[in-house]
């Protein structure tokens, strides 16, 4: 038991780990902010399209349809949900390392875990929907 407890206390982040965690925190914050910026730009683009501002097709542009509106809504919902966790994780990780605060660092890793968990679950749902969609299309084609 003593040996086990000692082992836990000896396993700590070193200076290299702290540097890596700090950079992870910085880039996680940058990525979360960029995701919000990207989302706002997509909404602006959609509004411009719906008001008929676009007169000609542009690079990688999409056709305006109710499906695009729904897709954008789902994209916004997922993006906000995911990136709030990513941003909070980055804040806690940075504070944890800079203030040498174990509790804060633990919370940061906890939020990073939640971020990847939500990401994974959304991926599973998306894959299931794609497979069901393909099966439906295949069945529909036959008739």
Partner 1 sequence: MDQLQDDFLSSENELRIDNETSGYLIETSKWAKFIALAFYIVTGIVIMVFLFYGSDISETYTRRRSFGSGRDVESAFFIGIVIALILIAVVVAVTYYFLLAFANKMQAGIATENIELVNNGLKSLKVHFIIIGILMIIGILVTLYNISNT
Site for partner 1 contains 137 (CB under 8 A): no
Of 33, 57, 34, nearest to 45 by C-alpha is 57
Query: Is 127 a binder of partner 1 (CB under 8 A)?
Result: yes
CB of 35 to partner 1, least distance (A): 7
Q: Which stretch binds partner 1 (CB under 8 A): 11-19, 68-76, 135-143?
A: 11-19
CA 6 to chain centre: 37
Our finding on whether 7 is near partner 1 (CB under 8 A) is: yes
**Residue 21 binds partner 1, judged by CB under 8 A:** yes
Q: Which of 18, 71, 72, 95 forms a contact with partner 1 (CB under 8 A)?
A: 18
93-96 contact pairs (CB < 8 A, 24+):
93/21, 93/22, 93/24, 93/25, 93/28, 94/22, 94/25, 94/26, 94/29, 96/21
The footprint of partner 1 on residues 52-81 (CB under 8 A) is 53-55, 58-61
Q: Which residue has the tokens 């997509």?
A: 42
Pick the binder of partner 1 from 81, 87, 113, 142 (CB under 8 A): 113
**Could you give phi then psi for residue 78, rounded to 5 degrees?**
-65, -45
């Amino acid at each position: 038991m003593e040996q086990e407890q000692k082992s836990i206390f000896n396993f700590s982040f070193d200076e290299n780990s702290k540097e890596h965690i700090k950079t992870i925190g910085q880039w996680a914050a940058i990525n979360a902010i960029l995701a919000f910026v990207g989302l706002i730009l997509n909404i602006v683009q959609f509004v411009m399209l719906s008001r008929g501002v676009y007169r000609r097709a542009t690079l990688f542009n999409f056709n305006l349809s109710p499906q695009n509106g729904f897709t954008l809504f789902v994209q916004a919902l997922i993006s906000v949900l995911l990136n709030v966790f990513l941003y909070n994780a980055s804040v806690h990780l940075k504070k944890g390392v800079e203030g040498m605060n174990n509790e804060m660092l633990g919370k940061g890793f906890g939020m990073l875990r939640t971020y990847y968990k939500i990401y994974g679950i959304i991926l599973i749902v998306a894959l299931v929907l794609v497979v069901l969609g393909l099966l439906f299309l295949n069945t529909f084609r036959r008739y």
